[in-house]
Amino acid sequence: MEELIESSEALRRIFENLPEIPEISCPLEKCAGRILRSTLTADRDFPPFDRAMMDGYAFRASEVETGALVSVEATAYAGQPPVSEGPSKGSCIEIMTGAPLPPNADCVVPYEWTSKEEGRIKLVEKSRLESGDFVHRKGSDLRQGETLLEEGRVLGSREVALAAACGQTSLSVSKLPAITTACTGDELVGIDATPLPHQIRRSNDQAIDTAMARVGLNVKTATHLPDDLDTCRSAIKAMVESNHFVILTGGVSVGAKDFLPGILNDLQYRRVFHGVAQKPGKPMGYWISNDCGIFALPGNPVSVLTCLHQYVVPGIKRALGKSGDVVRREIRLLEKVKKPRHLTLFLPVCLQGDNAGLPRPARNSGDMVHILESDGYVPLPAGYDTVDTDLAYPFTPWV
């Protein structure tokens, strides 16, 4: 294993060494969760006309007097062309929410502010009316040709609705990457098997698959590799040749059967780093071929979960074109924590009120059970062996 690098440096190197993910044209109804790859501009003003924001009556504000009786000349409906003539002095136009504002009118009086007497309208609200009251002005949200959605935006309900409002039946988005996982180790058996006393059931691939699904990604295949050099080499070569990302767990440290770093080097994949000054997950490494990024994670479950959240998901999202860094909630710890001075400690915490968290460390990196007591983790930086409660740390939730 090479010299350990800092956690922040590991993430920086991953971001700078990612495979290129092609963009595709995707039907709008299938864009949920995808990442936009081209800037979308407004095809018209938003809104495209002065529109009523309330059901009521359209007036000229300067001519409205509280208590005066006003006749209703016409009714303006949403979805209909605007009435041809606006209100004359001493009259108004009844108007529905979303209808175009009539000519000459500059405000809307809600029904609730009026009463009816002998077929005419009387303003009973005492507050003074202003031009623009309850009117959504043309182009006040966005002008035609202005940027509506930036490249790199994750497409959710708001973004898709705006694209639909601009008449976009499809959008240019990142292709969903081909991702495969492989768990290594002779001690592993399938989840439907009855393990012998010296065996355990596979779980890391299930954790990765679930985490990917929670962030809108899919794992194409999941494989188990035995502790056999030739089998691992041929399987990894085939996976790298047919995927955008390969996520390996186990076999990355310095044990007698930790073959993976040597295999990845022998296959002449470029090593970006191997070994991070962190706990858990110190033996993690990252390699890249021309078209595939290879995450090599330790096999212990807590290490896999931590590295998955800290490096794998952010790296894949960045490759897809996601813009900007994630803004994480910051929390303070309710208890002092001792840690190795030279390592970043990813500390599981249980959220409390007032942006606080209780430390809930796993007993070791294989402790799957006690990790359930935590909601996520915070990174405690190297350089300190005791962390006090007067600082705040960015919180990452488990997915």
For residue 278, the surrounding DSSP H or E stretch is strand 278-279
Predicted pLDDT at 327: 77
- Average pLDDT, integer, range 232-246: 97
Residues in the chain: 399
Interatomic CA distance for residues 18 and 320, integer angstroms: 10
Predicted pLDDT at 297: 97
Q: Which amino acid is at 134?
A: F
How many percent of the chain have pLDDT more than 90? 83
Tens of pLDDT along 315-340?
999 999 997 677 789 999 999 999 99
DSSP 1-35: ----B-HHHHHHHHHHS-PPPPEEEEEGGG-TT-B
Task: Quote the tokens at residue 149.
Answer: 């959605």
Q: Which amino acid is at 157?
A: S
Tens of pLDDT along 352-385?
999 999 999 988 888 889 999 999 999 999 998 9
- The number of angstroms, rounded, from the C-alpha of 249 to the middle of its chain's C-alpha atoms is 25
- Average pLDDT, integer, range 29-37: 95
Predicted pLDDT at 1: 67
Strand pairing report for 120-123 and 69-76: antiparallel
Predicted pLDDT at 345: 97
Predicted pLDDT at 241: 97
- Average pLDDT, integer, range 39-45: 96
Q: Is the pLDDT of residue 10 over 80?
A: yes
Predicted pLDDT at 126: 61
Q: Is the pLDDT of residue 61 over 70?
A: yes
Q: Is the pLDDT of residue 32 over 70?
A: yes
Query: Could you tell me the pLDDT band of residue 88, with boundaries at 50, 70 and 90?
Result: confident
Interatomic CA distance for residues 374 and 347, integer angstroms: 9
Predicted pLDDT at 90: 84
Tens of pLDDT along 51-60?
999 999 999 9
How many percent of the chain have pLDDT more than 70? 99
Query: Could you tell me the pLDDT band of residue 89, with boundaries at 50, 70 and 90?
Result: confident
Interatomic CA distance for residues 166 and 68, integer angstroms: 43
Tens of pLDDT along 193-233?
999 999 999 999 999 999 999 999 999 999 999 999 999 99
Q: Is the pLDDT of residue 31 over 80?
A: yes
Query: Could you tell me the pLDDT band of residue 118, with boundaries at 50, 70 and 90?
Result: confident
Q: Is the pLDDT of residue 276 over 90?
A: yes
Tens of pLDDT along 120-157?
999 887 667 889 999 999 999 999 999 999 999 999 99
